[in-house]
Structure 1
Amino acid sequence: MMKLLYITANPKGIEKSKGLQIGETFLNSFLEEQPKTEIKRIDLFSYDLAHMDADLVSARGKLAGYGYTMDQLTEPEREKIKKMRAVADEFAEYDYYVFVSPLWNLSSPAVLKAYIDNLFVSGKTFAYTPTGAKGLLTDKKAVHIHTRGGQYIGTPMQELESGDRYLKIALRFLGIEVLETIVAEAFDLYPKRVPEIVAAAKVQAAAAAKEMAKGTIMI
């Protein structure tokens, strides 16, 4: 059975969030192609995450480069690194990933960055090799559904956008194939066109879902 992890970073809820509405269209279309897919939803605004504070940074360094064992960590270090590894372990179990996030202040909501931080676990999601770091999450596919109030595509603002750009870089670093970004933007510039923009994004999302669902994942 295929497994899909649906990760959202929007506190508005589906009634107010255009991105979450587009995301539902994606899921429905995906299930039409792969009805037996197991789907888990993660709302990052209500998800228990370890954050990169002094304890977690120290624990990672001790375990990765200084030869410490888990038992030699302080209790706060041990608690937080275990929480981080649990997030990475869960993530690695899935075949498909759908991220739904808005662009806030040129980047993603902080909870999404915190989640990505938890996925960088040496030996689990990537490994250091003589030729550099290598992603271990191969044969997995991801899609990003991204909403923006401003207009970035084809404008001077495009080079300033770092939400979708960072997510793609991070996922590819981990070995994941990033198939597509479904972008719905310019809501604030053209408020009367919002239904039209959302409808177009839903069409794109449905097509992208079918394309991803038709792909073969080797297990």
Structure 2
Amino acid sequence: MKKLLYITANPKGLEKSKGLQIGEAFLESLLEECPDIEIKKMDLFSIDMAHMDRDLVSARGKLAGYGYTLEQLSDSEREKIVKMHALADEFVQYDNYVFVSPMWNLNSPAILKAFLDNLFISGKTFAHTPTGPKGLLTGKTALHIQTRGGQYTGTPMEEMESGDRYLKIALRFLGIDMMETVVAEGLDLYPQKVPEIVAQAKENARMAAKELATKVALNV
């Protein structure tokens, strides 16, 4: 059975978040196409995760380059590095991923970057090779659903968008195949058009669900 991890980074909740509502349209369509797929929802604002603070950076360095064992780390270092590996271990168990996040200040919410930091573990999600780093999470697919208050696509502001761009870079680095992002933008710029914008994004999300369902069916 294929497994999908549905990762959200919006504290507003389903009732108020247009992005989460678009995400639900995706899930409904996916379940219609793949009723047997296993889906787990992960709200990044509700989980306990390690952050790249002094202890975690120190622990990573000691284990990776200085020959320390886990037992030789301080209690705080050990607790955080174990938590980091546990989250990465859970992540790699899934075949497909959906990330739902808003654009805040040209980027994604900081909690999403903190989550991604937990996934960069040499030997687990990527490997150093003579020709450069190589992602180990091949054969997996991810989709990003992003909401934006302004209009970025096809405008001079496009190059300033860094949330979707970084997520794609990070996941591709780990070997994950990225689908075309489902974007709902101009939500603050054109308040009178919000229902139309959201409706179109929901339709795009349903199409993305059907595309992913095809990949699942073909086992690609």
Scaled to the shorter chain, the TM-score interval is: over 0.9
Q: For residue 85 of structure 1, what is the amino acid of its counterpart?
A: H
**Following superposition of structure 1 onto structure 2, how do residues 13-92 of structure 1 map, counting pairs within 5 Å?**
13-92=13-92
Write the distance in 1 (CA, Å) between the matches of 2:55 and 2:47: 20
Q: For residue 37 of structure 2, what is the amino acid of its counterpart?
A: T
1:180 counterpart = 2:175: no
Assess if the C-alpha contact under 8 Å between 1:140 and 1:217 holds in 2: no
Write the distance in 1 (CA, Å) between the matches of 2:202 and 2:62: 46
Write the distance in 2 (CA, Å) between the matches of 1:111 and 1:157: 24
- Give the match's secondary structure for 2:45: helix
Structure 2: gaps spanning 5 or more residues: none
In the alignment, what sits opposite 2:9?
Answer: 9
In the alignment, what sits opposite 1:150?
Answer: 150
Encode CA deviations 1:130-152: one digit per residue, 9 max, x unaligned. Answer: 11111000000000000000000
The TM-score, its normalising length taken from structure 2, stands at 0.98
**Following superposition of structure 1 onto structure 2, how do residues 113-124 of structure 1 map, counting pairs within 5 Å?**
113-124=113-124
- Give 4+ residue runs of structure 1 displaced > 3 Å after superposition: none
- TM-aligned CA deviation for residue 33 of structure 1: 1.3
Write the distance in 2 (CA, Å) between the matches of 1:62 and 1:210: 45
Q: For residue 66 of structure 1, what is the amino acid of its counterpart?
A: Y
Q: For residue 206 of structure 1, what is the amino acid of its counterpart?
A: R
Encode CA deviations 1:110-163: one digit per residue, 9 max, x unaligned. Answer: 100000000111111111111111100000000000000000001111000000
- Equivalenced residue count is 218
Write the distance in 2 (CA, Å) between the matches of 1:5 and 1:217: 17
- TM-aligned CA deviation for residue 100 of structure 1: 0.1
Encode CA deviations 1:141-200: one digit per residue, 9 max, x unaligned. Answer: 000000000000011110000000000000000000001100000011110100000000
- Give the match's secondary structure for 1:159: helix
- TM-aligned CA deviation for residue 217 of structure 1: 3.2
Q: For residue 152 of structure 2, what is the amino acid of its counterpart?
A: Y
Q: Sequence identity, in percent?
A: 73
Q: For residue 184 of structure 2, what is the amino acid of its counterpart?
A: A
Write the distance in 2 (CA, Å) between the matches of 1:62 and 1:43: 31
- Give the match's secondary structure for 1:119: coil
- Give the match's secondary structure for 1:156: coil
Structure 1 residues 217, 61: CA separation in 2 closer, same or farther (over 3 Å shift)? farther
In the alignment, what sits opposite 1:217?
Answer: 219
In the alignment, what sits opposite 2:208?
Answer: 208
Assess if the C-alpha contact under 8 Å between 1:70 and 1:78 holds in 2: yes
- TM-aligned CA deviation for residue 72 of structure 1: 1.0
Q: For residue 16 of structure 1, what is the amino acid of its counterpart?
A: K
Write the distance in 2 (CA, Å) between the matches of 1:128 and 1:47: 30
Write the distance in 2 (CA, Å) between the matches of 1:78 and 1:217: 38
Q: For residue 127 of structure 1, what is the amino acid of its counterpart?
A: A
Q: For residue 18 of structure 1, what is the amino acid of its counterpart?
A: K
Structure 1: gaps spanning 5 or more residues: none
